[in-house]
Amino acid sequence: MTAKRCFALALIASTTGAALAAEPIVGLITKTETNPFFVKMKEGAQSAAKRQGAKLLTAAGKSDGDNAGQVTAIENMISAGARAILITPNDSRAIVPAIRKAREQGIMVIALDSPADPQDATDALFATDNFKAGQLIGQYARTAMGGKPAQIATLDLFPGHPVGIARHNGFLAGYGAPGITPKTAGLARTAGVVCMADSFGDQAKGQTAMENCLQKNPGINVVYTINEPAAAGAYKALKAAGREKNVLIVSVDGGCAGVRDVKAGVIAATAQQYPLKMAGLAVDAGVAYAKTGKKAAGHVDTGVTLITDRKQDGVESRDSAFGLTACWGK
């Protein structure tokens, strides 16, 4: 090999190395790869990474609740040179030691959608204001009931989850319960709440929970659900009991199936959140950190909109046509 050719190869290698070094690496770890919410989140991250000229690494738990899979993903992304890691924690407490290990090596970690416990275990949280999402549907339900006495059932997530607590408490605060704030610990219960049950955000479990609530409290006329699959399950139970036309169901999420259920009258109103925007803004923050060293901090609210086709005076909302332009899933 001639000296000239050796120099040329060295120059190519040097140039390539510089280019790779200039390409920020950002990691995205979701709870699962199949939930439409996280599919949309990944889509937002990929779009932002392409726009920013960044390399995006992605991983997910094998199932909802798979903490070990997310720990392995963090370790792999540390080894791969990620400068920022974005994660939706499957277990908000158990994931903290792995997050701490990443931060000790200078990696910025942003929680998406769900906070870590404690919340300051990550540098920042990019998420819906879940208390506000609950407030919106609580205000809507109270107005729609027009002063009629309410017997309320809440179909929650599962014990101790911060998102489930925030939405539940926000709903009761929006319905007018005094003394409930975003800092209220645990699931609040007021005089109007006649049944509280866990749905795990699942349609079949939501149906079973609603059946159990109806068996003990046949006069239920307002149902709060943690998400739209649980709302669909509640509706099936109510329809089987011949009660579907006399009960107001409100929910949170804004997936396409849920918005279509709003349009069909199955759900009266839902609070829509925006995973595409959530992930896009977080990738932008990760790239900014890689280039400038400036970290994101605090809670970045990615927005929520009340979606309903049965508008109530004094309650700001958009219709299902708008909701379908911003939804996710099939």
Tens digits of residue pLDDT in 227-240: 999 999 999 999 99
Mean pLDDT of 122-148: 97
130-272+306-326 and 25-128+275-296 share a CATH fold = yes
Contact between 228 and 267 under an 8 Å Cβ cutoff? The reply is: yes
| Three-class secondary structure assignment of the chain | CCHHHHHHHHHHHHHHHHHHHCCCEEEEEECCCCCHHHHHHHHHHHHHHHHHCCEEEEEECCCCCCHHHHHHHHHHHHHCCCCEEEECCCCCCCCHHHHHHHHHCCCEEEEECCCCCCHHHCCEEEECCHHHHHHHHHHHHHHHHCCCCCCEEEEECCCCCHHHHHHHHHHHHHCCCCCCCCCCCCCCCCCCEEEEEECCCCHHHHHHHHHHHHHHCCCCCEEEECCHHHHHHHHHHHHHCCCCCCCEEEEEECCHHHHHHHHHCCCCEEEECCHHHHHHHHHHHHHHHHHHCCCCCEEEECCCEEECCCCCCCCCCECHHHHHHCCCCC
Contacts of 170 (CB under 8 A, 6+ apart): 130, 131, 132, 133, 134, 135, 136, 138, 182
Identity of the residue numbered 184: T
Mean pLDDT of 153-177: 94
pLDDT of residue 19: 40
Between 122 and 15, the higher pLDDT residue: 122
pTM of the model: 0.85
In this predicted structure, the answer to whether residue 4 has a pLDDT above a threshold of 50 is no
Rounded CA separation 167/156 (Å): 9
Rounded CA separation 94/97 (Å): 7
Question: What pairing do the DSSP bridges indicate for beta strands 298-301 and 124-127?
Answer: parallel
Tell me the pLDDT band of 287, cut-offs 50, 70 and 90. very high
pLDDT of residue 35: 86
Q: What is the pLDDT of residues 49-71, one digit of tens each?
A: 999 999 999 999 998 789 999 99
In this predicted structure, the answer to whether residue 14 has a pLDDT above a threshold of 70 is no
CATH architecture under which domain 25-128+275-296 falls = 3-Layer(aba) Sandwich (3.40)
C-alpha atoms less than 13 angstroms from C-alpha of 54 in its C-beta half-sphere: 31
Q: What percent of the chain has pLDDT over 90?
A: 88
The domain locations on the chain are 25-128+275-296, 130-272+306-326
Tell me the pLDDT band of 77, cut-offs 50, 70 and 90. very high
Tell me the pLDDT band of 34, cut-offs 50, 70 and 90. confident
Rounded CA separation 276/315 (Å): 26
Rounded CA separation 180/196 (Å): 17
In this predicted structure, the answer to whether residue 13 has a pLDDT above a threshold of 80 is no
| Lowest mean pLDDT, pick from 84-93, 108-117, 156-165, 249-258 | 156-165
Tell me the pLDDT band of 161, cut-offs 50, 70 and 90. confident
Contact between 168 and 159 under an 8 Å Cβ cutoff? The reply is: no
Contact between 175 and 154 under an 8 Å Cβ cutoff? The reply is: no
Backbone angles phi, psi at 110, to 5 degrees: -115, 130
In this predicted structure, the answer to whether residue 11 has a pLDDT above a threshold of 60 is no
Q: What percent of the chain has pLDDT over 70?
A: 94
Contact between 65 and 90 under an 8 Å Cβ cutoff? The reply is: yes
In this predicted structure, the answer to whether residue 17 has a pLDDT above a threshold of 60 is no
CA–CA distances in Å: residue 122 to residues 33, 88, 161: 22, 11, 17
pLDDT of residue 199: 94
Question: What pairing do the DSSP bridges indicate for beta strands 152-156 and 193-198?
Answer: parallel
Mean pLDDT of the residues in the chain: 92
Q: What is the pLDDT of residues 199-222, one digit of tens each?
A: 999 999 999 999 999 999 999 999
Tell me the pLDDT band of 15, cut-offs 50, 70 and 90. very low
Tell me the pLDDT band of 268, cut-offs 50, 70 and 90. very high
- Whether residue 118 is preceded by a cis peptide bond, meaning omega within 30 degrees of 0, is yes
Q: What is the pLDDT of residues 87-124, one digit of tens each?
A: 999 999 999 999 999 999 999 999 999 999 999 999 99
Residue with tokens 């890689």: 290
pLDDT of residue 112: 97
What CATH homologous superfamily does 130-272+306-326 map to? Response regulator (3.40.50.2300)
Rounded CA separation 296/289 (Å): 8
Tell me the pLDDT band of 157, cut-offs 50, 70 and 90. very high
Residue with tokens 């204001």: 129
